[in-house]
Amino acid sequence: MISIFYVFSIFLVFAYANPSIVWNVAEKEISSLDKLISKATDKEPVILFFFDEFNLAQFSKHASVYSNKAEGGSLKHLKNVIDSSKGYAVKEDDIDKDILTKDFVTIFYPTKNNADLSKSRVIIVYVNTWTELDTLPVAVIQRLGHNNYIAILTDGVVQTGRHKRQAPPKPKEKNLYANMTFINNTHCLLFSRRVIFHVRNMSELNKPEIYTYTLPQFIPYNSTEKLATSDCSNYSKSFTLDWSPKASFGPHNLTLQSLKLVLNLKLNKALGWWGVDKMDISAKGSVIEKGQFDRSFNGSEVEGYIEGPMLFSYACGQQKPFYFFFPSEVKDESPKIKYGISFDQLQIQPFQLKGRGKTMLFTDDVYDCVPFISIAVWMFLVCAAILLIIVFCGISMISSLKTMDRFDDPKGKNLVVNVKE
């Protein structure tokens, strides 16, 4: 039997998006991932492994797909699990997040390892590293106690479309938002899949250093956590995110002790437009050039970063990093080190929209950060127009060429061409 890792490497050539890997199920039974999840039972549960860094290219690399030995590389335990299953396939499909917010969803925490999976229909496992990807499936299956299951490995991005996000005032541990940054003060909502800290060190011109660190997520169901707060109400006031990671990262193992971000909102009633008009950023740690940074940004510095029309929430799949830095001591010289904060799958709603009961909802009216015609589309249209103009000019020049219609006759008189001709 051909190894599954070789099948994945072949599929990689034809895939246009990050597919999902499904195993322990016959390929003919896979119509869509949503149907597989909706049909899950406690006798045959579905295990969802969400791994942000997952894609087939990296998967093939860590699994040593192109090695002659084909032992699975650093994913040998996962390879044994998949090869010994009923069947496997690669499915290019999205998962609807509404399915994952049901009461029958259980989140498996490897550190706690005390969840009762015997009555679980859908089990969510968040994978943080490639090492965990090799060991977690074995641990979860052992915890489950039987081999009658269906497993799906995906990149953690679920299809949200333009559906309303259900945001209970006090999300339970089983809720999908349990491993994401989420703020709900019953007046305003903020949601983000990940918040990332960026460092761009250009002091070494021969080898510039660019590295990132994913900040810890705020657990909304933990009532003792006060790190993500908001006094936002009716397009005004602010959201506050306060991290204390005390983590080392980057090539020099520099530390980030703390980072605080305050997003201050303001409504322009004349234009019917709201947005962030001020950002307060403070940070401490050896990764910061002078050990500490504390500054407010307003006016043109934050204009257009997060904004939207009234009664519209703001959403962005990959928010551009907001860079901040110490002013250069030399006039007209750009700073050597820049720091930045970016949001992944960000959505902000600075007004109240209630659904059934006391449930807060995101509105279906969304102002997206991606314009109607993106930069890539404009580049294609401009390049296509230039090529069409070149082709048109070339055809026009060729069609205007005229050949001679009279020639010399060697047996007759020489051809005389008048000046006028």
Give the pLDDT confidence of 113-125 residue by residue, as tens digits.
Answer: 566 777 788 888 8
The model's confidence at residue 383, banded by pLDDT at 50, 70 and 90, is very high
User: What local confidence, expressed as pLDDT, does residue 174 receive?
Assistant: 42
**Mean pLDDT (the chain, rounded):** 77
First to last CA, the chain: 81
Task: Say which residue the tokens 């996962």 belong to.
Answer: 78
Cβ atoms of 349 and 234 within 8 Å: the answer is: no
Do both 97 and 210 map to the same domain? no
Please check whether residue 160 lies inside any domain of the structure: no
In a domain, residue 417? The reply is: no
Chain-centre distance for alpha carbon 235? 26
| One domain, residues 226 and 356 | yes
More confident residue, 234 or 165: 234
Residue, of 356 and 60, whose pLDDT is higher: 60
Number of domains in the chain: 2
At 205 the pLDDT is 59
Domain identity same for 132 and 178: no
Q: What confidence tier does 204 reach under pLDDT thresholds 50, 70, 90?
A: low
Q: pLDDT of 10-57, one tens digit each? A: 444 444 445 788 888 876 667 778 788 888 888 888 888 888 778 787
> Which of 55-59, 140-144, 155-159, 388-392 is the most confident on average?
388-392
- Residue 224 is assigned to a structural domain of this protein: yes
Percent of the chain with pLDDT over 70: 75
The pLDDT value given to residue 112: 56
pLDDT at 177 over 90: no
Q: Are 303 and 197 members of one domain?
A: yes
162 has pLDDT over 90: no
What pLDDT sits at residue 402?
79
Enter the pTM of the model: 0.53
Q: Which of 154, 175, 194 is the last residue of a domain?
A: 154
- The answer, yes or no, to whether residue 59 has pLDDT greater than 90, is no
Cβ-proximal residues to 199 (8 Å cutoff; 6+ apart), any chain: 209, 210, 211, 212, 213, 250, 287, 337, 338, 339, 340
In tens, the pLDDT along 244-301 reads 887 787 777 888 888 999 999 998 888 889 999 999 999 998 888 888 889 899 888 8
411 domain residue, yes or no = no
Q: Are residues 9 and 146 in the same domain?
A: yes
Could you tell me if residue 388 is inside a domain?
Answer: no
Residue-wise burial string across 349-382, b where 16 or more C-beta atoms lie within 10 A, e elsewhere: bbbebeeeeeebbbeeebbebeeeeeeeeeeeee
- 185 and 324 housed in the same domain: yes
Same domain? 126 vs 270 = no
> How large is the average pLDDT for residues 191-209?
78
Expressed as residue numbers, the domain containing 130 is 4-154
**Residue in 315, 14, 303, 293 with CA at minimum distance from that of residue 191:** 315
The two structure tokens encoding residue 96: 């609807």
Residue 279: its pLDDT value, please?
A: 92
CA neighbor of 72 nearest in space, from 11, 133, 123: 133
The verdict on residue 101 lying in a domain is yes
Q: Is 177 within a domain?
A: yes
